[in-house]
A and B are shown apart, each in its own frame.
Chain A
C-alpha cells in the first residue's frame, strides 16, 4: 500500500493547564478511570459452560468474536487515528490516542477469550471465516473508505456509527448467553467493552456536533442526509450479516430489534432524532437486563409499576456539606 495516512501539520507541546474544552478533560478522566485489561477477568471459569454449548453454538460464538475483533482492530489502527488530524484541541488529540489504544485492548481481549475456550484449529478457522465472510468484509470496507476520505465531519459520522451501531450484531450474543447463565465471565468482559464504546461514541458524537455548529445550513443538511444514507447502507448490510450468523440458531429477528435500538442510539449520539419506531425497537427484556439491571420497565413509575419505590416528602439531612 503506497497511500499515506494524513498526519497533523504541526505539533505543539500539550498544556493540560490551559483547557479550551472541558469535555476533553472530563472524557480523558473517565476513560482513564474505566481502564481495564482482559487478564483481570477470570475467563477460565467459563470453560465448563463453554462445553455445554453445541458445536454450532460454539462456532457461532467464535465467528461473532472474530467479527468484533476485526471492527476493534480497524478502529484502533485506522478509525481513531484518522480523527487526530481533525482535532479542534490538542487535548482532543490525546483523547483519540487513548481511544485507539483501548480499541487495541478490546481486539486483544477476544484473543484471550479464544485461547481460553477454543483450540488453535478452531481459532484459525474462525479467523479464516472472518476474512471470507462477504458482509463482514463489506462493513469494514464501507467504514474504512470514509476514514480515508477528506471530509472530517463524515469521518466522525462513520466512526460514531461504528462505535455505537456496528458492534451490536456481535454484542447481542454474549448478552444472550449471559441471560441464560452461560459464559458469564466472558459477558463481564464484553460489558467492559460495551461501556467503553459508549464513552467513545458519546465523545466523537459530541465533537461532531461541535464541528457542525459553524457550518452553513446547506452543509448541515448535506451531512444529515449523508448520515441517514450511510446508516441505511450499513443497516442493510448488518441485516444480511445477522442472517448469516444467527439464522441457524433462530435468533435473527431478536438480534434485528437490538440493531434498531442501537441505531437509534447512534443517531442520538450524533444529535439526530431516532429513526426506528418503538414497534421495532422492543428489545428482548432478558437482553436489556443482561446489559443493564436497571433497564427493565418495572422502574417506570409513570406506568404505574413503580409502586415499590418509597414515596415520601423530602427530608432535610443534617449534613453541612450534602456530599454524595
Chain B
C-alpha cells in the first residue's frame, strides 16, 4: 500500500497532493491494520468502500467525511495482570485518528478483530473505543475472519446504515 493514499476507493486526494498532506475519506467503513495485514484482508472482502488509517503515526492521520463504522484489531495480552491489560490495547494510530474531534464526532459503531486466545483481552480495543465514544460494538471476529463473518458484516452494515438514516438527526 502506498503511503499517504488511504484506501482503494473512498479517498479523494487533492490534485498533486504530497505525502504529508492529510488524506480524506468518504468511506462508511474505516479500518486500521498493522503490517501483518489480517484486518486489512477482511476489510478488502467487504462490499462497502473502506478507508485505511495510515500505518505510521508519523504520517498525517485520515480525515473522515461522513459517518462511519470503525474496524480495528486487538493484538491482545498486553499485560500479565487483568485490568492492566486495558492500557495499550488501542493501537497508537487509531488513537491519533480519534484524537481528531471531527473524526470522533462521526463514529457510529465499532467492529473488533481479535483472537479468543487472548481471553479477557479478546477484541478489547473495540470495547474501549466503543465505551469511550458511546457507540455500540457491532461485531467481533477472529484473525482475518471466515466467509461467514464477511457475509454477516456485509448484511449487518447495510441494515445498520438503513436504521441510522431513519433516525432523527
Contacts and interface: CB of A to CB of B under 8 A. Distances in A.
A13 interface: no
Interface string A15-41: 000000111001000100111100000
A34 B118 CA distance: 11
A314 B133 contact: yes
A209 to B, nearest CB: 8
Nearest to B155: A302
Contacts of B38: 268
Interface stretch (A63-71, A142-150, A194-202, A217-225): A194-202
Nearest to A313: B134
Interface string B84-112: 00111110000100110100111111000
B80 interface: yes
Contacts of A295: 116, 122, 140
A301 B136 contact: yes
B128 interface: yes
B148 to A, nearest CB: 5
Contact of B142 (A35, A268, A313): A268
B43 to A, nearest CB: 15
A302 B153 contact: yes
B136 A323 contact: no
Q: Which 6 A-B pairs have the closest CB atoms?
A: A302-B156, A198-B117, A268-B143, A292-B116, A309-B136, A292-B122
Per DSSP, are chain B's interface residues mostly helix, strand or loop, or mixed?
mixed
Given A23-B35, A314-B134, A324-B132, A300 B143 contact: no
A81 to B, nearest CB: 23
10 contacts: A21-B35, A195-B119, A268-B38, A268-B143, A291-B119, A292-B116, A294-B140, A302-B138, A316-B105, A324-B95
B87 A324 contact: yes
Contact of A274 (B76, B146, B156): B146
A274 B149 CA distance: 11
Contacts of B122: 292, 294-295
Nearest to B152: A302
A120 interface: no
B77 A22 contact: no
Given A292-B122, A323-B95, A316 B156 contact: no
Interface string A52-79: 0000000000000000000000000000
Nearest to B42: A268
Nearest to B146: A274
A88 B62 CA distance: 32
B134 A293 contact: no
